Amino acid sequence: MNLETILTSPRKIVKWVGGAIIAANIALTSWYTVSTQEEGVVTRLGEYKRSETPGFHLKMPFPIEVAYTPEITKVHRIEIGGAEGDHAEETTSMLTGDENIINAHFIVQYQIKDSKQYLFNNSDPEGTLYDISEAAMRQIVGDHSIDKTLTDGKVEIQNDAKDLIQGITDDYKLGLNIVSVQLQDVIPPAEVRDAFSDVATAREDKTTYINKAKKYANKVIPEARGEAQKLIEDAQAYSVQRVNQARGDVARFNDVYKEYIRNPQITKDRIEIEVMTQIMPNFNKTIIDEDIGNMLPLYNVQQNKGGKK
């Protein structure tokens, strides 16, 4: 049978073409590769058969077996409430716990943790995750006041929303791991935005004044403590000085008292002389012994500036 005979027979042409297609299909669909970022998942006649690690793998030709290679290490993301950087008109309106309205825009990051669940349990896992995330964020925002949502409560809201989204996706068996929830924009509606902006500015001013006060306190308090410590040390030194002086006075008094016991009159006379010397330091003094006579001085004291005794 020559080529001309084959070409002139339609039935034979169909057989040849069909055989070539089958051969090509077997050659092209009987193998597949899985990269290091992926996991291989094979179905046989539409039912899950096995999972494969990265590398080269053989399988039955299509459509008997079909191979899927979802990226399990890649961090995927969905945005809810508009593209990143957009404004309130593209964000999602939510009701806060104190019945105020805010416009929210947030991002959910996730990874595939169970390829079988991800591929076969839900026909649109990303769409389902979008709906779950929006509903979860509405619930969490509804548990917080508008002030908390717009200011220092964002981290708490993000963490609570992440936990809630993860729990719901696990219940739905979507095979996803929620990596993070990030609030991009949380702003009040346009009608009241200026008022909330003034409130935010006032809070910032309050924080600035508090920081200045703390800075001043950090400067003044150590100085005051230093001065107080110096006063305490000076008082302690003065106390020691006074105690030592008192002890010295007591010791001198005891010495004088001992001398007085041995010879009371001599000690009494000496004390009188010392007292008079202290009372009249700038006068010439002559002490006369009455037994001898008033013209014979026994003790002459002249104490002048630069003078002698």
| Cβ–Cβ under 8 Å, residues 182 and 154 | no
- 74: helix, coil or strand? coil
pTM, full prediction: 0.57
Distances (CA, A) of 106 to 11, 79, 167, 172: 62, 6, 18, 22
- What does the pLDDT look like over 45-71, one tens digit per residue? 988 999 999 999 888 888 898 999 999
Q: What CA–CA distance (Å, rounded) separates 156 from 148?
A: 9
H or E element: which one contains 94? strand 92-95
| Cβ–Cβ under 8 Å, residues 75 and 109 | yes
Could you tell me which of 234, 212, 232 has the C-alpha nearest to residue 224?
A: 232
Could you tell me which of 112, 92, 109 has the C-alpha nearest to residue 101?
A: 92
Contacts of 150 (CB under 8 A, 6+ apart): 102, 186, 187, 188, 196, 200
**Torsion sign, CA atoms 223, 225, 228, 229:** negative
DSSP label at residue 87:
-
| pLDDT value for 285 | 55
Distances (CA, A) of 103 to 86, 151, 172: 12, 14, 28
* Preceding omega of 54 cis (within 30 degrees of 0): no
pLDDT tens digits, the chain, 309 residues: what are they?
A: 555 555 556 676 667 677 777 777 676 778 889 999 999 999 999 889 999 999 998 888 888 989 999 999 999 999 998 644 443 345 688 889 888 888 899 999 999 999 999 999 999 999 999 999 999 999 999 999 888 888 788 999 999 999 999 999 999 999 999 999 999 888 877 766 677 677 667 877 888 889 888 888 888 888 888 888 888 988 888 888 888 888 888 888 787 777 777 777 776 777 777 777 776 665 555 555 555 554 444 344 444 444 444
Residue with tokens 């006579």: 293
Angle between helices 125-141 and 154-172 (to 10 degrees): 140
Q: What CA–CA distance (Å, rounded) separates 125 from 108?
A: 13
| pLDDT value for 74 | 93
| pLDDT value for 16 | 67
